[in-house]
Amino acid sequence: MDDATWKLVVDSAQTVAAFAGALSAIFAGWAIRKSSNDRENGHLLHHAKTSLERAFQALCGDTPTNSAPTHDRTAWLTAARLIEEYKHTKERITDKLSLQECESHEEHWRYQFYVRLGVIQDGPAGYFTPRPRGEEIQKVSAMVIHAFATWPEGKSDPLKKYKSADDAYNKLGIHMLWFKLRQYCNRV
């Protein structure tokens, strides 16, 4: 092999090696970035879930399930602030699967708040009246919590995929185990 051919082979090998190294660096960088994003989304999801749990705990504490939250200004403020923290954290989640899980937790806690606020709604008219010590529940905090407990305007309802009870029955059926439901739906 003459010098020119040998130089061409060496130069070609170096070019291929440099290209392979560059590709390897690009893929390594992509993998590191993806891993970092996954880790960040995992932390955000955990923080979002914890914020909702703490918000509910702050408002309702150890009160029985069928009773109204304690009339406590600080509890309402803390719960509202934690709900706002949750909303801010949720906005930062970029992974679709993590966001879906986050929204599932949101629906669970929305219902928990809804049940507790329903007790206030169904109870005596004076729940929000300031107490003898003059401590009143801050209106903004009450609005934040009530807004969270309400189904969001414009949010699509996954049950809308069934056009009617008949459509749901045709797609899902009702197992024989659920006799009372079968009676209710006239499917006996």
**What pLDDT score does 118 carry?**
93
**What pLDDT score does 179 carry?**
87
pLDDT tens per residue across span 17-31: 667 666 676 666 665
The CA dihedral of 92, 98, 99, 102, to the nearest 10 degrees, is -100
Q: Domain extents for the chain? A: 3-155, 157-188
Which range (50-59, 68-77, 137-146, 179-188) has the least confidence?
179-188
Is residue 141 within 8 A of residue 79, CB to CB? The reply is yes
Taking the complete model, does pTM exceed 0.85, yes or no?
no
DSSP letter (8 states) at residue 2: -
Which range (33-47, 62-76, 89-103, 165-179) has the least confidence?
33-47
The chain-wide mean pLDDT, for the chain, equals 87
Confidence of residue 116 (pLDDT cuts 50, 70, 90): very high
Return the higher-pLDDT residue of 124 and 87. 87
**What pLDDT score does 135 carry?**
82
**What pLDDT score does 35 carry?**
60
38 phi, psi to nearest 5 deg: -60, -45
Residue type at position 23: L
Residue type at position 156: S
Taking 90 as the threshold, does the pLDDT of residue 124 lie above it?
A: no
pLDDT tens per residue across span 140-184: 999 999 999 999 888 888 888 899 999 999 999 999 998 888 889
Nearest to 148 by CA among 50, 80, 99: 80
**What pLDDT score does 18 carry?**
67
Taking 70 as the threshold, does the pLDDT of residue 83 lie above it?
A: yes
